[in-house]
Amino acid sequence: MKSKYLSYPYIIWMIIFTIIPILIILYYSLSSFGQSGLTLQYFSKAFEPTYLTVIFKSLKLAFYCTVICLIIGYPVSYILSTKEFLNKGFLLFLFIMPMWMNFLLRTYSWLNILGSNGVINNILNFFHLPKQMFLNTEGAILLGLVYNFLPFMILPIYTSLHKIDPKLIEAGQDLGANSKNIFTKIIFPLSIPGVISGITMVFMPAITTFVVSNVLGGGTHMLIGNLIEQQFLRTNNFNFGSALAIILMIIIVFISILLSLFDKNYEEKK
């Protein structure tokens, strides 16, 4: 069949719209306006204390968000995967459904609850308790992150738990394992691939976000995403913004390599 030629226009398309843009970003990050030659000044600028704290704060919040999603989400997936509930499919649908709602709206919906005239403050007011400022705090951002990305943790873990052959668990029981042993020796190890893809699906969007921190952090808490957005849309410092984007990509690639090593290590053990 000659139809392989049909792929050539798409290859050119990918070169123009995928490869060249990344090369331009790389070029911007290494060059300076009005100066010839390459420079690392924008990368070293990113390592100045002000910006380094922003990068660390993004890493910290993304890490906390991933851990909390794992702690909350794993039991949900586990309960859903056991055969205790009749309409399991519908229940799973309920947990996944918020994933389909517009990300911005999901974040925005918390303003109604956390705001200074929001639901929680109304309840506090009812009991004559003093008003609390929930918005514009790191806690609010963390809450927004967990809320947005929890379904991304539940789905892959559920999928891996659902695939476990019930005969394995029965065999374990026949061989005299108690339920704790069955969980730690059979169920949890078999769900590790799901846990790893859940971690990836939560951590990656959490570290790149600028929406949650802008809406719930009120612009007072900068994350690396905010910093990049600012360079491109407000201060027009494309060079520094590109350097930050490259750093973000390096962090992401590094973490995916780490996770895939962990996955491989585990596969070998099996």
In contact, 77 and 157? CB cutoff 8 Å: yes
Question: What is the Cα–Cα distance from 128 to 81, expressed in whole angstroms?
Answer: 44
99 or 177: whose CB is closer to another protein?
A: 99
- Specify whether the CB–CB gap between 212 and 224 falls below 8 A: no
Q: Which of 10, 174, 175, 234: binder of another protein (CB under 8 A)?
A: 10
| Residue 127 touches another protein, criterion: CB under 8 A | no
Examine residue 211 and tell whether it contacts another protein (CB under 8 A). yes
Per CB under 8 A, contacts with another protein among 40-59 are: none
Q: Which is nearer to another protein, 12 or 171 (CB)?
A: 12
Helix, strand, coil percent content, the chain, rounded in steps of 5: 80, 0, 20
Are the beta carbons of 140 and 219 closer than 8 angstroms?
Answer: no
151 touches another protein (CB under 8 A): yes
Residue 205 tokens read as 């969007």
172, 194, 205, 217: which one binds another protein (CB under 8 A): 205
Q: How far apart are CA 256 and CA 106, in angstroms?
A: 27
Q: How far is the CB of 258 from another protein (least distance, A)?
A: 15
Residue 64 interacts with another protein (CB under 8 A)? Answer: no
Instruction: Give the shortest CB-77-to-another protein separation in angstroms.
Output: 11
Stretch that binds another protein, among 15-23, 37-45, 48-56, 159-167 (CB under 8 A): 15-23
Give the nearer residue to another protein in terms of CB position, either 53 or 112.
112
Decide if residue 147 touches another protein (CB under 8 A).
Answer: yes
Q: Is 28 in the site for another protein (CB under 8 A)?
A: yes
Indicate the residue among 177 and 252 with the shorter CB distance to another protein: 252
**Least distance (Å) between residue 164 CB and another protein:** 18
Q: Is 79 exposed, middle or buried (0-12, 13-18, 19+ CB in 10 A)?
A: middle
Scan residues 251-270 and list those touching another protein (CB under 8 A).
252
Rounded to the nearest whole angstrom, what is the least distance from the CB of residue 10 to another protein in the complex? Answer: 4
What lies within 8 Å, CB to CB, of 158 at 6+ separation is 76, 77, 80, 81, 92, 194
Q: How far is the CB of 163 from another protein (least distance, A)?
A: 18
DSSP letters spanning 226-267 = HHHHHHHHTS--HHHHHHHHHHHHHHHHHHHHHHHHHHHHHH
What is the C-alpha to C-alpha distance for residues 203 and 229, in angstroms, rounded to an integer?
19
User: According to CB under 8 A, which residues from 171 to 190 bind another protein?
Assistant: none
CB-CB neighbours of 22 under 10 Å? 12
Tell me which residues in 96-125 interact with another protein (CB under 8 A). Answer: 97-98, 100-106, 108-113, 115, 117-119, 122
Nearest of 236, 259, 77 to residue 162 by alpha carbon: 77
Q: Which of residues 213-252 bind another protein (CB under 8 A)?
A: 214-215, 225, 228-229, 232-233, 238, 241-242, 245, 248-249, 252
User: Which of these, 136, 149, 144, lies nearest to 222 by C-alpha position?
Assistant: 136
